[in-house]
Amino acid sequence: MDSKEFHIYGVEQLSEVSEYLISLRDEADIIAFYGSMGAGKTTLIKNLCHKMGVTDEVNSPTFAIVNEYVTEEGESVYHFDFYRIKKLEEAYDIGFENYFDSGNLCLIEWPEMIEPLLPEKYIRVEIQHGETDEERVILCQVVEE
């Protein structure tokens, strides 16, 4: 299982993490972002989308559950926020499998709410608070079950 750990002390360092995640695109199209409220999941996703050429405004789709962004090359990127999901049926109701099977990049916040629906192979990103308020420890790994 490939994994890499980053110690980030400011948003300007997120580009390194985003570039690494982009380099893993051949491994999986699903990236699951784990972390507590305020850990920086959306901030990292914004950076990643920017690096991929998304010109749309990137916001957490807390109420919509899924946002679609388009890169400069016309590729769709799907951004999910499953924080408000109460049961798996809600993910089925939005047709999650159509997105997950599309071959487009799917970025998932709060994947723990739909964990049984994650594919056998995906990229797991864990964001934790470091020893200072500014520090984040970000562990990226390809998971294959």
Per-residue pLDDT of the chain (145 residues; tens, 9 = 90+): 578 999 999 989 999 999 999 999 999 999 999 999 999 999 999 999 999 999 999 998 888 899 999 999 999 999 999 999 999 999 999 999 999 999 999 999 999 999 999 999 999 999 999 999 889 999 999 999 8
CATH number at residue 59: 3.40.50.300
Q: What is the pTM of this model?
A: 0.95
Please state the domain count of the chain: 1
Q: Which of 16, 30, 43, 46 is nearest to 123 (CA)?
A: 30
Residue 75's pLDDT is: 95
Q: Which domain holds residue 31?
A: 3-144
Q: Are 47 and 15 in contact (CB under 8 A)?
A: yes
Residue tagged 């200072």 (tokens): 132
